[in-house]
Amino acid sequence: MGDLILGIESSCDETAAAVVESGRRVLSSEVHSQIAEHAVYGGVVPEIAGRSHLEKILPVVDAALEAADLDLDDLAAIAVTQRPGLIGSLLVGLSTAKGLAFVRGLPLVGVHHIEAHVYAATMALEEPPWPCIALVVSGGHTSLYVARSPLELEPIANTLDDAAGEAFDKVAWILGLGYPGGPEVARLATEGDPQAVAFPRHRPKDGSIGFSFSGLKTAVLYHVRGGDALAPTPPPEEISDRADVAASFEAAVVDSLVDQTLRAARDHDLERILVAGGVACNSRLREVMTERAAGEGLAAHFPAPEWCTDNAVMIAGIGWELWRTGAVADLSLDASPR
C-alpha cells in the first residue's frame, strides 16, 4: 500500500472528500453538490454555501473513509483546499482538516485549488507531462499557464472579463435554461447548428494571447432580442432558434479557447496541453482541442469528466505531491480568498 492522503474540498458549492493513494489510485470520492440549494438564485449564495458545508463536511469525510474501508490512522496526511475561494466556505474545510490533523497527529497540507484542477488532468497519464501548457476553464477562471511541475504554474494569459463557465451560465439564463448553465447549454447545443449564427471570436488586437467573453455574451443577447438592444429579452418559447444559438455560442467559446491555447503551445514550444476545470467537461471542447492539437503534432489531456468539476480527488492527488516534498503546514494555516 502506498501513501494514503485524505483530500478535503469546500471552496465553492461542492463539499467533497476523497482518499487517493500516492497521487494516482482513487480509493474513494464523495461529493455533495449544493446546486439545488443555489439554483433558485441563479448563482452561488455565499452564506448558504458556508452553512451547507458546515452541515455536510463531517458526513462527507466519514463517507469517504468508509468507502475506502480506512480509518484516519491509516492516512499519511490530510490535504485541504486553502485558496482561492469563498472565505466562509474555505474555512469550513480548513477547520475540519486542522481539527482532524491535530487530534490524530497527522501532517496537514494546504492546497491551491487551481493547481489541484491542473493536477487532475495528469493523474491518469503514463508519463509526467511537464513542462506543458495548462488551460484552466471554470466558473471563476479562464487562464493559461506554463506548467513546469505540479507546483509551478506560471500565468501567461487570462480573461479580460467573464470566465468561460460564467459565459455559459449567463447564456443559459438568456435562453431560459437552468443553473449551472454549462451542461444545459451543451445539451441543447447537440440539437443545433454550430454554424447557424456567426458569433464573434475574441482575438487580442496587439497580437498577445488572451480571452474575453463579455462581447460574445452581448452578441447572444442582441441576437435573441432580434437585433434591438433595447428590446426586452423574449421568453424562451419565443426564441425560435434556441438550439442554434446554443450550438453557435458553444462553438465560439470553444474556438477561442482552442485558438489561444494552441498559440500558447506554439509560442512556448511545448508539445503537451492540460485542460481542467468545470468547462473541461464540455464534449465539444474535448473533441476540438484533441483534434486540432493532434493536427499540429501536440497532445491534449483532460481529467475524466467527473474530476473536471470541483472534487477532492484532485486535492488528495496534489496533496501527495506537496506532502512528499515536505510542504507541510502547521495549525496557523489560514484560508485566503485569492
Interacting residues with ligand KG4 (CB under 6 A): 12, 138-140, 165, 168-169, 180-183, 186, 277-279, 281-282, 309-310
Facing residues of 301 across strands?
274
Closer of 114 and 177 to Zn ion (Cβ): 114
CB of 6 to ligand KG4, least distance (A): 21
Task: Scan for cell 468547462, then name that residue.
Answer: 279
Q: How far apart are the first and last CA of the chain?
A: 36
Site string for Zn ion, 204-243 (x = CB under 5 A): ----------------------------------------
CB of 326 to ligand KG4, least distance (A): 28
Closer of 93 and 107 to ligand KG4 (Cβ): 93
CB of 178 to ligand KG4, least distance (A): 10
CB of 66 to ligand KG4, least distance (A): 25
Closer of 175 and 253 to Zn ion (Cβ): 253
Put the strands of the sheet holding 4-9 in their side by side order: 25-33, 14-21, 4-9, 77-83, 108-112
Neighbours of 333 (CB within 10 A): 17
Chain centroid to CA 330 = 27
Residue 7, binding choice from ligand KG4, Zn ion, none, Cβ under 5 to 8 Å by partner class: none
Copy the grid coordinates of residue 266.
506554439
Instruction: Report how far residue 185's alpha carbon sits from residue 182's, in angstroms, rounded to the nearest whole number.
Output: 5
CB-side neighbour CA atoms (13 Å) of 259: 16
CB of 52 to ligand KG4, least distance (A): 15
Closer of 307 and 323 to ligand KG4 (Cβ): 307
Q: How many residues bind Zn ion (CB under 5 A)?
A: 2
Closer of 83 and 223 to Zn ion (Cβ): 83
CB of 199 to ligand KG4, least distance (A): 15
Closer of 21 and 310 to ligand KG4 (Cβ): 310
Residue 184 near Zn ion by CB under 5 A: no
333 contact partners, CB below 8 Å, separation of at least 6: 82, 94, 98, 108, 110
Instruction: Report how far residue 319's alpha carbon sits from residue 323's, in angstroms, rounded to the nearest whole number.
Output: 6
Closer of 106 and 122 to ligand KG4 (Cβ): 122
Q: Residue 19 — φ and ψ, nearest 5°? A: -115, 125
Facing residues of 142 across strands?
137
Closer of 277 and 317 to ligand KG4 (Cβ): 277
Q: List % helix, strand, coil for the chain (3-state, nearest 5).
A: 45, 20, 35
CB of 78 to Zn ion, least distance (A): 20
Residue spans of beta strands (DSSP E) within the chain: 4-9, 14-21, 25-33, 77-83, 108-112, 132-137, 142-149, 152-157, 272-276, 299-301
Question: Out of 121, 310, 312, 322, which residue is the one contacting Zn ion (CB under 5 A)?
Answer: 310
CB of 182 to ligand KG4, least distance (A): 2
Residue 139, binding choice from Zn ion, ligand KG4, none, Cβ under 5 to 8 Å by partner class: ligand KG4
Residue 181, binding choice from ligand KG4, Zn ion, none, Cβ under 5 to 8 Å by partner class: ligand KG4
Contacts with Zn ion, residue ranges (CB under 5 A): 138, 310
